[in-house]
Chains A and B, each alone.
Chain A
């Protein structure tokens, strides 16, 4: 089939960027969306033009690298899929497709369809973990976890950190991303210990990174390739309320070398 593409081209963060028109010819329905772009790029390269830069890696829907807004929907029209798992059979001959990068203040454009999502990593770094040392932990079966809790934690932990939720949110909020991490760890006894500190520091990191706030539009859930549930946002809110009055201490993941008993 033949398609008309309007693709966002932007040289770098300073460039203003614009939509450019490309014709994609001879596209087969068995191709994935990214393979369709590969075909377009191959032609561009051979014509001496610069190919469209886009992020991708595993191409099997789990690494969360691919990130495009297709016809106004992050990861495209199919729902519960990543761009790399979106196949051209979802489109028809003669379609016009708009391809844009994820847009949010917290995700500056690096080039074309590639954006910088390291803000999400920094939110995790702010406290999205269990502060466990390597070694010296109890046997895995010492602390029992109810099956329901383990399963719920797993549902939340499925988040691939692609940032589609942020791009879809009219407020550019990362609440679903936070909710997944906070809920996953708060569901487990190992993670409960630090639950208050975690939710507080992750939420302030989110604001600091320039993400917006949740006003419950639920666009995030609608585009989430893993279908992370909205109830986790409610859980995040509960965890946040539970953390009222918690006095934040300085994170003490300090290195042992800094704590010298000798002197």
Chain B
């Protein structure tokens, strides 16, 4: 284990595993979000908070996963930068993408956004006046639905979310297939499939996530 953490190749394995866990989380998250279309968002949110102990265990696990990913991501990037002093006068890329070359930046943007997002919707410190913790719905549950509607009616909030989701999609469009390669979970035949599949998943998530703020902002979803 020690060699895994100290060794760059081992750290990459951590990156891949934690990345895949977070992708799983993101997929579950978007499925959870979709309860909004069936009018059961508040009920879903209420159920999530049913057993605080489990919730906190889950949060701590995700936090650890997240921190490992960020920490090793930064360390590996620093490594890589130092392995590559100076650039070419002319540089022509043949295979890498904007997304693959900017993982650190999209990653850091996502990291920043995550703080914002947690403070905004989880701990509800930002814009507390419309937070679900303050306002209850008709059944006495925290009114998550209304919180969303009130927030995404604001252009600035919607814009922040859209930008973050763009960063997320860029990150995933490279990250998903990359994690499979790092874990050796592919071969010559499946590599192109996984590469394409990773991008498709990323774009599906993009639409999944972007749908709610956009629909609220343009008034399709309303209170």
Measured CB to CB, the residues of A under 8 A from B are 6, 8, 19, 69, 71-73, 77, 79, 98, 100, 103-106, 168-173, 200, 203-204, 207, 210-219, 221-223, 229-231, 233-241, 244
Residues of A within 8 A of B182 (CB): 214, 216, 237
**Contact yes or no, A73 B184, CB < 8 A:** no
User: Which residues of B in the span 1-41 have a Cβ within 8 Å of any Cβ on A?
Assistant: 3-4, 7-9, 11-13
B178:A238 contact, CB within 8 angstroms:
no
Q: Which of B165-221 contact A (CB under 8 A)?
A: 174, 177-178, 181-188, 191
Contact A104:B93 (CB < 8 A) given known A231-B191, A234-B181, A237-B183: no
Q: Is the CB of A106 within 8 A of B184?
A: no
Collect the chain A residues with CB atoms within 8 Å of residue B95's CB.
Answer: 217-219, 221-222
B103 within 8 A of A: yes
Asked if B191 and A234 sit within 8 Å, CB to CB, the answer is yes
A71: shortest Cβ distance to chain B, in Å? 5
CA distance A204 to B181 in the complex (A): 20
A residues near B96, Cβ cutoff 8 Å: 170, 217-219
Complex contact B12–A213 (CB within 8 A): yes
Q: Report 21 cross-chain contacts, Cβ distance below 8 Å, ordered by A residue.
A: A19-B89, A72-B90, A100-B89, A104-B83, A105-B83, A105-B85, A172-B84, A200-B3, A207-B9, A210-B82, A212-B80, A212-B83, A213-B83, A217-B100, A219-B93, A221-B95, A234-B181, A234-B187, A234-B191, A235-B184, A240-B184
Q: Please determine whether B80 and A204 come into contact, CB atoms closer than 8 angstroms.
A: no
B7 touching A203, Cβ below 8 Å: yes
Give the size range of B's interface with the partner: 35 or more
> Which of A69, A203, A215 has most B Cβ within 10 Å?
A215
Complex: how many Å from CA A233 to CA B186?
Answer: 10
Given contacts A200-B3, A231-B188, 17 further A-B contacts (CB under 8 A): A72-B88, A72-B89, A73-B92, A104-B84, A105-B82, A169-B84, A203-B9, A207-B7, A213-B80, A215-B12, A216-B178, A217-B96, A219-B96, A230-B181, A235-B184, A237-B13, A244-B4
Task: Kindly state the separation between the CA atoms of A237 and B7 in the bound complex, as whole angstroms.
Answer: 13
- Interface residue? B76 (CB, 8 A): yes
Instruction: Point out the residue from A100, A203, A230, A236 that lies within 8 Å of B88, measured CB to CB.
Output: A100
Contacts of B94 in A (CB 8 A): 73, 79, 168, 219, 222-223
Of A106, A214, A231, the contact of B187 (CB 8 Å cutoff): A231
The smallest C-beta distance from A79 to any residue of chain B, in angstroms, reads: 8
Q: Are A233 and B87 interface neighbours, CB within 8 A?
A: no
Asked if B89 and A6 make an inter-chain contact with CB atoms under 8 angstroms apart, the answer reads yes
B52 at the interface (CB under 8 A from A): no
Which residues from chain A contact B137 at a C-beta distance below 8 Å? none
B79 proximal to A (CB < 8 A): yes
B contacts, CB < 8 Å to A: 3-4, 7-9, 11-13, 76, 79-80, 82-97, 100-101, 103, 174, 177-178, 181-188, 191
B183 and A241 within 8 A (CB): yes
Sorted from nearest, which 5 A-B pairs have the closest CB atoms?
A212-B83, A238-B184, A217-B96, A171-B80, A172-B83
Give the chain A neighbours of B88 by CB distance below 8 A. 69, 72, 98, 100, 103
Contact of B80 among A173, A233, A240 (CB under 8 A): A173
Q: Which chain B residues lie closer than 8 Å to A229 at the CB level? A: 188
* Chain A residues positioned under 8 Å from B93 (CB to CB): 219
**Residue contact B84 to A237, C-beta cutoff 8 Å:** no
Q: Which residues in A have their C-beta under 8 angstroms from that of B178? A: 215-216
Cβ contact within 8 Å between A237 and B184 = yes
- Per the bound structure, the CA–CA distance linking A239 and B184 in Å amounts to 8
B91 contacts which chain A residues (CB < 8 A)?
Answer: 72
B177 and A234 contacting across the interface, CB-CB below 8 Å:
no
What is the minimal beta-carbon distance from B71 to any residue of chain A, in angstroms? 15
Which of A77, A98, A217, A234 interacts with B186 by CB under 8 Å? A234
List, in ascending order, chain A residues with CB within 8 A of B90's CB.
71-72, 98, 100
Chain B nearest CB from A155 CB (Å) reads 10
Please indicate the chain A residues that have their CB under 8 angstroms from the CB of B174 in the complex: 216
Q: Which residue of B lies closest to A98 (CB)?
A: B90
Most buried by A among B103, B177, B184: B184
